[in-house]
Amino acid sequence: MSARFDVAVLGLGAMGSAALYQLAKRGVRVVGIDRFAPPHALGSSHGETRITRQAVGEGQDYVPFVTASHRIWRELEAATGDTLFNACGTLVMAPGHGVSSHHGKPDFVGRSIRAAGDAGIAHEVLDGAEVARRFPQFLHLAGDEKAYYEPGGGFVYPERCIAAQLRGAAEAGADIRTGRAVTALHQDEDGVRIETGDGPIRADRAVVAAGAWTAPLLGPPFDRLLTVRRQLLHWYALADESAYGPDSPVFIWMYGSGDTDYLYGFPPLPGDGAIKVATEQYSTTTTADSVERHVGARESDEMYRLRVEGRLAGTTPEVVRAAACVYTVTPDRGFIIDRHPGMDRVHVVSACSGHGFKHSAGIGEAVAAELAGGPGRIDLAPFSLARFG
């Protein structure tokens, strides 16, 4: 345990595994530490599938991350033979009249269209009638909906992505230590000292990618900026899969004016006989250690009754499985990628506010380029702590 490292990465979920892999590829002497054994279902980086889309309605500053992520996942697929990314297409839809919002951004569909146009991302703009004709799984559309369709979007397999990057990091020489909780982090004239139950670890610099555990570890100002929210994922049995053809996209369907008046979902996976759907909530807070991980039958019943029934063809209220995860959310629902204000050798890569996985491989590359140089440099200023004062 007395070895000295160039960089220590704390937390090996979406962001940490990506940073560890990219640093190890650059020849950096790096150690990765996690209290569990990733990939696991105790944080924010699980659930079988995660949506990806290049035209990001949350803001054009995100586009370079997800573009890089798509490239990296294809490179990893070629290197490993794993299937990590399914480009089945992404559909983002909102009412044709009134105001709608997603992740705190009004006119999310319009923002996605503009981002695609500015970045040269292949896309189509559809109305509800065309959506109904091409994608019959969506029921009872008014016909005047506005929709953004991105054929190069789709979904990634989060557990596979994390596992592939951790394997790649180990093969490139990274030291991976799981089952070790970090209890404290200090900076002194000799670098960074990471306290664990198995003794201290020394490094020149550290990357904290601990998700919902970030604020308890780092304290101010993160304890006032990061809020942990419990989110639920539901898989419902399909009585009829005929509406879900080979071109069925992932979808984000805003059907009302508020940020929670929506659902998102995925096409059924081959042989699964079920469809995965979810929404988001921003009213109830929790912590990484106290979150209720069991999803009650009433919660799945309510999700089906209020959001799924009458909207998605072939679905039944039969719950095949359900899962809980946590989002760690900033006040503006953007990312924090910046140095710790009191420890300039500590780089913080959290929180990602529930829309981070599609960006994670690119963020890992950008953080590695920031620390070790080389390709992958992206302007990280939009994600600094300075915007919060």
Check which CATH number belongs to the domain holding 205 and give it: 3.50.50.60
Considering its fold, how many domains does the chain have in total?
Answer: 2
Whether 2 shows a pLDDT value over 60: the answer reads no
Last residue of a domain, one of 282, 311, 329: 329
Q: Is the pLDDT of residue 212 over 60?
A: yes
pLDDT at 1: 45
The verdict on 181 and 298 lying in the same domain is: no
Q: Are residues 232 and 364 in the same domain?
A: no
> Considering the domain boundaries, does residue 68 fall inside one?
no
Q: In what order do the strands lie in the sheet with 85-86?
A: 50-52, 154-156, 85-86
Residue 290 counted as domain residue: yes
- Which residues, 6+ apart, have CB-to-CB distance to 7 below 8 Å? 23, 28, 29, 30, 31, 203, 204, 205, 206, 207, 371, 372
Sole residue written with tokens 């990219």: 22
Domain boundary among 310, 329, 348: 329
Residues 6+ apart with CB under 8 A from 116: 54, 55, 122, 123, 148, 150
232 and 318: one domain? yes
Residues 323 and 275 in one domain: yes
Residue 62 lies in a domain: no
Torsion of CA 240, 123, 60, 72, to 10 degrees: 70
Q: Helix, strand or coil for residue 97?
A: coil
The predicted model gives 311-322 an average pLDDT of: 98
High-pLDDT (> 90) share of the chain, %: 94
| Domain-located, residue 170 | yes
What the block records as the tokens of 113 is 């269209």
Cα separations (Å) of 219 from 212, 224, 280? 12, 8, 26
Q: Is residue 74 one of the residues assigned to a domain?
A: no
Residue 165 has pLDDT above 60, yes or no: yes
> Domain boundary residue among 278, 303, 329?
329
Question: What are 250-279's pLDDT values in tens digits?
Answer: 999 999 988 899 999 999 999 999 999 999
Q: Are residues 231 and 351 in the same domain?
A: no
Q: Residues 198, 218: one domain? A: yes
Q: What is the pLDDT of residues 335-344, one digit of tens each?
A: 999 999 999 9
**Residue pLDDT, tens place only, 82-114:** 999 999 999 999 999 888 899 989 999 999 999
Domain assignment present for residue 210? The answer is yes
Query: pLDDT digit string (tens) for 355-373?
Result: 999 999 999 999 999 999 9
**Same-domain pairing of 144 and 232:** yes
Q: What is the mean pLDDT of the chain?
A: 96
List the structure tokens of 176.
């991976």
- Tens digits of residue pLDDT in 47-58: 999 999 999 999
Structure pTM? 0.97
CATH assignment of the domain containing 275: 3.30.9.10
The length of the chain in residues reads: 389
Q: Determine, yes or no, domain membership for 79.
A: no
**Does 197 share its domain with 308?**
no
Say yes or no: 231 and 180 in one domain: no
∠ CA 255-261-265, nearest 5°, is 75
Residues 163, 143 share a domain: no
Q: 14 — phi, psi (to 5°)?
A: -55, -55
Q: Are residues 28 and 177 in the same domain?
A: yes
Do the domain assignments include residue 231?
yes
Output the pLDDT for position 350.
83
Region 285-293: mean pLDDT is 97
Instruction: For residues 83 and 74, give the distance between their C-alpha atoms in angstroms, rounded to a whole number.
Output: 9
The range of the structural domain enclosing residue 259 comes to 90-151+227-329
Same domain assignment for residues 139 and 248: yes
